[in-house]
Amino acid sequence: MNQGPRLAFLIPIASPRRAKDWRLACAYFKQTLSSILNSTDPNYCVVVAGHEPPDFELPQDSRFKFLSLDHPLPPLENEYYLAAIKDKLIKLGAAWNYAKSLWNPQYVMKLDWDDLVSSRLVDWLVSAEDEAGYLIKHGWVWRARSRYLVQHTEQFDRVCGSCLIIRSDLADKTGPFLHSCDGTKFDNMSQQIEAADAHSLVPGAGTSTLLLNDSHIRADAQFAYLGHRLAIIPFSAAVWRISHGNNASSQHHRMESLRMFLGRIRRTRLITPRLKNEFMLG
């Protein structure tokens, strides 16, 4: 492995022209950065890519870069979600190119601008083996503005895209990794396969790199396609913030069944001082 930073966080941020509440979006993004800067090990770098900078002073840190982009915003057409994903992938690509050229990091993690990471994550990765990639299966789901409650999940990778750490030598490997969540149009047979199997690759999928797709629920299959396996991070390593209306997932959601509601109640925990400190919750 090279001797660059152990982990690069890549964070694409939406334009205020697309955010429902830019002030609130900036407040959440500031908290995301705080969770990274709270890491107990400094062996990381951060590249944020966006059209406009947030309305707060960005970190004055040699490990941090805000990359200002000017590509046209993808047209909304009939689907806000797909336009947001297309914009996010453009920004991720630019952020990754910058991180490679300046820092040459050993691993890379896509992090949504409103999610949070554990202060222990970088420190754990520094001590971990050099696996092809690591998956966050254990994590937290936090409803915006909830002061006291959070839900634990053992299927974090199924609900949140901020779940995958990729070894940098594999990030640009290509395969059939683009699915309907990325805008791929399938024929009827492939649509049926995709609907029946949420975790495998689908015939007719578009070609992309391992890094530049939003099909995180199929990460195991993507790594297997390239001849590698994913290891699991053995602790709750990230927080998915939901229900604030500014992110793409808030515009693209399913109705909650009674069973799902009861399961959410069962997984509910109090936000303890330890959790607040570890993830900068507040």
pLDDT for 95 equals 98
**pLDDT tens digits, one per residue of 70-122:** 999 888 765 788 999 999 999 999 999 999 999 999 999 999 999 999 999 99
- Residue 203 is assigned to a structural domain of this protein: yes
Angle at 268 between CA 266 and CA 273, to 5 degrees: 150
pLDDT for 45 equals 98
Considering its fold, how many domains does the chain have in total?
1
Rounded Cα distance between 238 and 140, Å, is 6
pLDDT for 74 equals 85
pLDDT for 246 equals 56
**Phi, psi (degrees; rounded to nearest 5) at 159:** -115, -20
Q: Which residues of the chain have pLDDT under 50?
A: 1, 249-253
Supply the range of the domain harboring residue 221.
7-279
Q: What's 228's domain CATH number?
A: 3.90.550
**113, 29 Cβ separation under 8 angstroms:** yes
pLDDT for 144 equals 80
Angle at 31 between CA 46 and CA 51, to 5 degrees: 55
Rounded Cα distance between 150 and 153, Å, is 10
pTM: 0.92
- Residue 1 is assigned to a structural domain of this protein: no
- Residue 2 is assigned to a structural domain of this protein: no
Q: Can you say whether residue 243 is alpha, beta or left, with left for phi > 0 and alpha for psi between -120 and 50 degrees?
A: left
- Residue 249 is assigned to a structural domain of this protein: yes
pLDDT for 80 equals 80
- Residue 180 is assigned to a structural domain of this protein: yes
